[in-house]
């Protein structure tokens, strides 16, 4: 018995010391093994630093730069490792050392750091995070032992500098953020339709012409507003060399992206011969996908080889990103030169032509000892032999590539697109759309369940992308990427079994003081109140639920239009919706408001919470909100959040709303979405029929697409009459016309709230 009890206690001790969920020091990403011990180390100007390898001088300078800025002192170097109050850096370059791993021991006398070059740098980053908001000349560090290593070897962040341009000073600041979180790849998206941003000596017009556009789209995409301000900028080769060296010192490899064959309008504007038609082009002012792309002829390939020659000299990393995404084939279909290649090479279609083109580029890059990486479209028409795939249209491309023994970097939109909203669009600055909350990022596991143990090894990591169509300045890049970057870092560094969202949020809130010190414009979306409307089990009543992570604070709300505070109503149960309501809410912790006030209005109508049937069900891809979303008393907001819409591909909408009983009505409206860039079209016609018995329907009216109000709402006003059933038929636009994105494909038809009164 005693023996059993002893082993039980022993197991308890082991499991406590290996549990990371009680680790609440502000280190992000969470170290994989850490034990806190009583006592502390005093770091001050009396502390010295010892190193066993000259290579570490760079790290010492980096650490001292931080201390000088934050604490107005620096550590003096010593060659006596036995001295008390010393930081000892021991570089271990042995094969047994796991890449990028480190051990950090802090005791009252010494700080001892062991690891490879990268590992030692990361240990110093852990210390910088522990220093956190201590800005005095005497820093207390808790005694501890950390044994740490990354879960994934590719830990990336991307930044698009084409849609909006960011100066070198900001690129360096962004790289600093990456290094703070032990991320090791900066994917620099240097070329696109809206601007070419890298100096190429052999082709000076790329930056004389291609780096500048004569105006820029602003506001919502559907509004089609453009300014006429000359906009642009580029990086000289000298600046790029400087940034590459800056990143190297921070253990970061820069992955340059030169987009091809699509997203190439800025290059074509500079050198029109690069396209199929040779027609003059402007650098694009608006967003989207453009049809003038690189021709697959030899002269364009030679141009790209020349460009890549200069790129490969500037960027010493193993990989070159060649884009490969969103390349319309319209021009290739009509181009004599492209078609003659298809014939000569015996290719099936333009997808195989794209594959042929990428394979030729790959062969060239491989001949220089480098590897290509491309967006998952490079799978279409056959993957180049040694290519690595960056999976962005979900994980399917990554899964297919891993099954085919190709390396994969995961970057699926739902988890890794930091241009998406991070809280409800009603409470956020305009973004491109989508919804990728901090919690969603944190929940990501880059290894798909579909892969077996052997295939899983091909997933080398993940990265998040920051596309900047709607990100106009540096402050906004910070807002969109922080603190989601912190969550991503934990996805990539911390082993799955050690991850814990609650614990992350505790550490993150402490870590905010460090971001405050660095004057980072980070988002506080995690404190934002979410609203959800739902019906009860019998579909009789409607409720509005307010929710936030309860560990972050309590929700207070008002119904009278006043700003909520801690004397308002404390939320503890869903609010019943009868008629009309205006709710304002906010999160409070220790009497302090967190985040922003969020207000919403709801109004029920005769269709709210009634039954609906469809002749053809919506697509499984656009039905996540369920049928209730059409009759829940809340119109979908723009830009689109998918769970507020139902969508049909190629089909008409044919639905009947059952109002439960015959009643007098004179108004019906239904909302549609127009997003032609994404193949979503308004219906060509909308018919309304009413019936008292559900069998005999009378046509009441029909509307053409140009009668749809503000491109959005089909509104029927008719003579007051009795009805229990309303049938709506909305005609799908059909196949997309040539010259438009998605030409020849089925168009989509999306609808949201139906209101009847
Ligand atoms: C992409 O987002 N077009 C890769
Ligand atoms: Zn061509």
Q: What is the mean pLDDT of residues 212-224?
A: 92
Q: Where are the domains of the chain?
A: 2-148, 154-521, 529-603, 611-756
Residue 131 CA, ligand 2 centroid: distance in Å: 58
Pairing of strands 685-691, 713-730: antiparallel
Ligand nearest to the CA of 377: 1
The pLDDT value recorded for residue 19 is 63
Kindly give the number of the ligand 1 atom that is closest to the alpha carbon of 413: 2
With a Cβ cut-off of 6 Å, ligand 1 is lined by 325-326, 375, 392
Q: What is the mean pLDDT of residues 409-429?
A: 95
Ligand nearest to the CA of 420: 1
Q: Which of 31-35, 221-225, 311-315 has the lowest mean pLDDT?
A: 221-225
Residue with the smallest CA separation from ligand 1 atom 2 is 392
Between CA 593 and CA 587 the distance in angstroms is 6
Pairing of strands 685-691, 698-704: antiparallel
Pairing of strands 212-213, 231-232: antiparallel
Q: How confident is the model at residue 639 (pLDDT cuts 50, 70, 90)?
A: confident
Query: Residue 13 pLDDT more than 80?
Result: no
Give yes or no for a contact between 613 and 658, defined as CB atoms under 8 angstroms apart: yes
Q: pLDDT digits over 437-496, tens only? A: 999 999 999 999 999 999 999 999 999 999 999 999 999 999 999 999 999 999 999 999
Q: Which of 120-129, 246-255, 384-393, 737-746 has the lowest mean pLDDT?
A: 737-746
CA angle 440, 452, 385 (to 5 degrees): 95
Q: How confident is the model at residue 433 (pLDDT cuts 50, 70, 90)?
A: confident
Which is more confidently placed, 540 or 235? 235
Q: pLDDT digits over 189-209, tens only? A: 999 999 999 999 999 999 999
Q: How confident is the model at residue 10 (pLDDT cuts 50, 70, 90)?
A: very low
The pLDDT value recorded for residue 537 is 73
DSSP state of 489: H
Residue 341 CA, ligand 2 centroid: distance in Å: 9
* Mean model confidence pLDDT for the chain: 94
Q: pLDDT digits over 306-360, tens only? A: 999 999 999 999 999 999 999 999 999 999 999 999 999 999 999 999 999 999 9
Query: Residue 625 pLDDT more than 90?
Result: no
Of these residues, 100, 116, 192, 427, which one is catalytic?
A: 192
Strand order in the sheet with 110-115: 33-43, 139-148, 102-106, 110-115, 86-91, 48-51, 76-77
Active site residue 326: yes
Q: pLDDT digits over 37-78, tens only? A: 999 999 999 999 999 999 999 999 999 999 999 999 999 999
The pLDDT value recorded for residue 5 is 44
Percent of the chain exceeding pLDDT 70 equals 97
Token look-up 């404390």 returns: 570
Give yes or no for a contact between 694 and 724, defined as CB atoms under 8 angstroms apart: yes
Q: What is the CATH number of domain 611-756?
A: 2.60.120.260
Percent of the chain exceeding pLDDT 90 equals 87
Residue 484 CA, ligand 1 centroid: distance in Å: 19
Active site residue 192: yes
Token look-up 């070159």 returns: 320
Query: Residue 638 pLDDT more than 90?
Result: no
Kindly give the number of the ligand 1 atom that is closest to the alpha carbon of 392: 4
Q: Which of 11-15, 252-256, 569-573 has the lowest mean pLDDT?
A: 11-15
Q: Domain 2-148, what fold?
A: Chitobiase; domain 2 (3.30.379)
The pLDDT value recorded for residue 1 is 41
Between CA 141 and CA 740 the distance in angstroms is 60
- Taking residue 739's Cβ as centre, other Cβ atoms within 10 Å add up to 9
The residue whose CB lies within 8 Å of the most ligand 1 atoms, and thus the one to mutate among 325, 374, 468, is 325
Give yes or no for a contact between 250 and 179, defined as CB atoms under 8 angstroms apart: yes
The pLDDT value recorded for residue 7 is 45
Of these residues, 326, 419, 427, 752, which one is catalytic?
A: 326
Query: Residue 16 pLDDT more than 90?
Result: no
The pLDDT value recorded for residue 535 is 87
Q: What is the mean pLDDT of residues 558-570?
A: 96
What is each CA distance from 735 to 18, 333, 747, in whole angstroms?
58, 18, 6
Q: Domain 154-521, what fold?
A: TIM Barrel (3.20.20)
DSSP 407-419: -EEE--HHHHBTT
Between CA 580 and CA 150 the distance in angstroms is 52
Residue 483: asked if its preceding bond is cis (omega within 30°), the reply is: yes
Q: How confident is the model at residue 28 (pLDDT cuts 50, 70, 90)?
A: very high
Q: What is the mean pLDDT of residues 213-229?
A: 93
Q: How confident is the model at residue 14 (pLDDT cuts 50, 70, 90)?
A: very low
244-248's contacts with Cβ under 8 Å and 24+ in sequence apart are 244/314, 244/315, 244/316, 246/172, 246/175, 247/175, 247/186
Q: What is the mean pLDDT of residues 108-133?
A: 96
Q: pLDDT digits over 149-167, tens only? A: 999 999 999 999 999 999 9
Q: How confident is the model at residue 740 (pLDDT cuts 50, 70, 90)?
A: confident
Residue 361 CA, ligand 2 centroid: distance in Å: 16
């Amino acid at each position: 018995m005693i023996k059993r009890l002893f082993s039980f206690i022993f197991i308890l001790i082991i499991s406590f010391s290996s549990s990371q969920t009680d680790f609440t020091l502000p280190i992000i990403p969470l170290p994989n093994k850490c034990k806190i011990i009583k006592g502390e180390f005093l770091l001050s100007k009396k502390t010295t630093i010892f190193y066993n390898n000259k290579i570490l001088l760079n790290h010492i300078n980096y650490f001292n730069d931080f201390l000088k800025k934050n604490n107005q002192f620096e550590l003096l170097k010593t060659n006596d490792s036995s001295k008390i109050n010393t930081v000892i850096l021991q570089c271990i370059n042995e094969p047994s050392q796991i890449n990028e791993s480190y051990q950090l021991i802090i005791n009252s006398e010494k700080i001892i750091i062991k690891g490879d070059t990268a590992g030692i740098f990361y240990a110093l980053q852990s210390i910088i995070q522990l220093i956190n908001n201590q800005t005095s000349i005497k820093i207390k560090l808790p005694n501890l032992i950390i044994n740490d290593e990354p879960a994934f070897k590719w830990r990336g962040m991307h930044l698009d500098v084409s849609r909006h341009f960011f100066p070198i000073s900001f690129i360096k600041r962004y790289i600093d953020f990456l290094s703070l979180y032990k991320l090791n790849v900066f994917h620099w998206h240097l070329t696109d339709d809206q601007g070419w941003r890298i100096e190429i000596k052999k082709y000076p017009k790329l930056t004389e012409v291609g780096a500048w556009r004569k105006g820029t789209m602003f506001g919502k995409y559907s509004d089609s507003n453009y300014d006429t301000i000359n906009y642009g900028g580029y990086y000289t080769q000298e600046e790029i060399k400087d940034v590459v060296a800056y990143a190297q010192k921070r253990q970061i490899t820069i992955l340059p992206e030169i987009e091809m064959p699509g997203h190439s309008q800025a290059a074509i504007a500079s050198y029109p011969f690069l396209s199929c038609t040779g027609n003059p082009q402007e650098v694009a002012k608006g967003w989207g996908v453009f049809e003038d792309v690189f021709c697959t002829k030899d002269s364009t390939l030679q141009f790209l080889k020349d460009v890549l020659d200069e790129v490969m000299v500037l960027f010493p990393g193993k990989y070159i990103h060649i884009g490969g995404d969103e390349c319309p084939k319209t021009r290739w279909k009509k181009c004599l030169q492209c078609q003659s290649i298809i014939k000569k090479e015996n290719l099936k279609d333009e997808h195989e032509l794209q594959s042929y083109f990428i394979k030729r580029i790959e062969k060239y890059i491989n001949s220089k000892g480098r590897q290509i990486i491309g967006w998952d479209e490079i799978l279409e028409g056959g993957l180049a032999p040694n290519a690595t795939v960056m999976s962005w249209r979900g994980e399917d491309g990554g899964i297919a590539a891993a099954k085919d023994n190709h390396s994969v970097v995961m970057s699926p939109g739902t988890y890794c697109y930091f241009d998406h909203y991070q809280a409800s669009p009603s409470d956020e600055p305009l973004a491109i759309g989508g919804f990728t909350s901090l919690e969603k990022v944190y929940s990501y596991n880059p290894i798909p369940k579909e892969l077996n143990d052997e295939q899983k090894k091909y997933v080398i990591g993940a990265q998040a992308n920051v596309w900047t169509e709607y990100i106009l300045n540096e402050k906004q890049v910070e807002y969109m990427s922080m603190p989601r970057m912190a969550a991503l870092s934990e996805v990539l560094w911390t082993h799955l079994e050690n991850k814990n969202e609650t614990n992350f949020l505790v550490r993150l809130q402490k870590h905010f003081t460090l971001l405050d010190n660095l004057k980072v414009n980070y988002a506080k979306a995690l404190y934002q109140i979410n609203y959800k409307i739902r019906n009860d089990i019998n579909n009789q009543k409607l409720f509005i639920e307010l929710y936030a992570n309860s560990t972050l604070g309590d929700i207070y709300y008002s119904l009278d239009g006043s700003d909520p505070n801690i004397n308002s109503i404390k939320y503890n149960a869903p609010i019943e919706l009868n008629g009309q309501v205006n709710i304002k809410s906010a999160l409070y912790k220790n009497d302090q408001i967190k985040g922003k006030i969020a207000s919403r209005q709801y109004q029920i109508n005769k269709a709210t919470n009634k039954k609906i049937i469809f002749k053809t069900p919506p697509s499984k891809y656009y039905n996540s909100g369920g049928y209730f979303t059409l009759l829940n008393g809340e119109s979908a907001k723009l830009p689109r959040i998918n769970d507020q819409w139902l969508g049909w591909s190629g089909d008409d909408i044919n639905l009947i709303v059952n109002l439960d009983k015959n009643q007098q009505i004179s108004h019906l409206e239904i909302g549609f979405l127009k997003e032609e860039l994404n193949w979503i079209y308004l219906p060509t016609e909308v018919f309304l029929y009413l019936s008292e018995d559900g069998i005999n329907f009378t046509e009441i009216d029909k509307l053409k697409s140009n009668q749809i109000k503000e491109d959005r709402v089909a509104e029927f006003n008719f003579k007051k009459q009795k009805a229990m059933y309303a049938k709506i038929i909305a005609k799908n636009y059909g196949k997309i016309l040539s010259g438009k994105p998605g030409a020849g494909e089925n168009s989509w038809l999306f609808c949201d709230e139906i209101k009847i009164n």
